[in-house]
């Protein structure tokens, strides 16, 4: 917020709690909420105004967490069906009984195993892709909600800044985790070396 309006991405309506994004062309916020038609402006929130707004955002956060769980379930089910399909597809390779001298297995499309594999691979693939897409979309919504809740709590204002990109944040967090693990491992080695010297 300290960087000016250019850092602000959206503003919340105090009445219906709708998130109103910044107009990219004009660089301005709408003068009224398109949901409840209440006039909106950048202002500080009182405790009575902030509490219901943050509670509403927490409810939305819980909703997207449920959708995230559903997406993970679709991904797991999809993987299970893909594995089952792969197993049955390998079982669809049969020996040619009409030619005893031929010891190689051939894919037989008329067998029960083949059609089970087709259905399992098709259903598993659809479930996995659907779950993955849903997970990416819901994760994005969750990140925005978490960011907005933290922003409102920090500034007591209805305006919120832009959410950072996922990949740089992930890489930064990964570097911190790796650095912490290395520090712990180094401290452990130093402690062991110190104990050996004492012994």
Pick left, alpha or beta for residue 95 (phi over 0 → left; psi -120 to 50 → alpha; otherwise beta): beta
Q: What number is the average pLDDT over the span 64-77?
A: 90
Assess contact for 14 and 38: CB atoms under 8 A. yes
Distance in angstroms (rounded) separating the CA atoms of residues 24 and 41: 17
Question: Are 77 and 111 found together in one domain?
Answer: yes
What per-residue confidence (pLDDT) applies to 150? 82
Question: Are 145 and 173 found together in one domain?
Answer: no
Question: Are 170 and 153 found together in one domain?
Answer: no
pTM of the full structure: 0.63
How many CB atoms are closer than 10 A to CB 72? 15
- Residue 10 — φ and ψ, nearest 5°? -155, 165
Of the ranges 11-15, 49-53, 98-102, 152-156, which one carries the lowest mean pLDDT score?
A: 98-102
Assess contact for 15 and 33: CB atoms under 8 A. yes
What per-residue confidence (pLDDT) applies to 5? 42
Question: Are 137 and 190 found together in one domain?
Answer: no
What per-residue confidence (pLDDT) applies to 1? 39
Q: How many domains is the chain partitioned into structurally? A: 2
Question: Are 135 and 194 found together in one domain?
Answer: no
Question: Are 57 and 35 found together in one domain?
Answer: yes
Question: Are 181 and 122 found together in one domain?
Answer: no
With a pLDDT cut of 70, the percent of the chain lying above it is: 76
Residue 14, domain extent: 5-164
What per-residue confidence (pLDDT) applies to 119? 94
User: At residue 32, does pLDDT exceed 80?
Assistant: no
User: At residue 38, does pLDDT exceed 80?
Assistant: no
Question: Are 146 and 197 found together in one domain?
Answer: no
Question: Are 62 and 106 found together in one domain?
Answer: yes
Question: Are 185 and 147 found together in one domain?
Answer: no
């Amino acid at each position: 917020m300290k960087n000016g309006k250019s850092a602000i991405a959206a503003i919340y309506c105090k009445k219906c709690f709708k998130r109103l994004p910044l107009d990219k062309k004009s660089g301005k916020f709408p003068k009224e909420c398109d949901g409840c038609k209440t006039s909106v402006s950048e202002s500080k929130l009182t405790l009575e105004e902030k509490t219901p707004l943050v509670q509403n955002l927490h409810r939305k956060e819980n909703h997207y967490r449920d959708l995230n769980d559903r997406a993970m379930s679709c991904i797991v089910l999809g993987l299970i069906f893909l594995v089952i399909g792969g197993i049955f597809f390998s079982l669809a390779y049969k020996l040619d009984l009409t030619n005893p001298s031929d010891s190689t297995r051939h894919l037989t499309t008329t067998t029960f195993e083949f059609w089970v594999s087709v259905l399992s691979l098709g259903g598993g693939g659809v479930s996995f892709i659907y779950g993955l897409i849903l997970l990416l979309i819901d994760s994005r919504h969750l990140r925005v909600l978490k960011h907005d809740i933290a922003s409102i709590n920090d500034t007591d204002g209805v305006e919120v800044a832009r959410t950072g990109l996922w990949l740089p944040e992930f890489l930064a967090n990964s570097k911190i985790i790796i650095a912490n693990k290395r520090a712990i491992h180094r401290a452990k080695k130093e402690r062991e070396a110190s104990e050996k010297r004492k012994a």
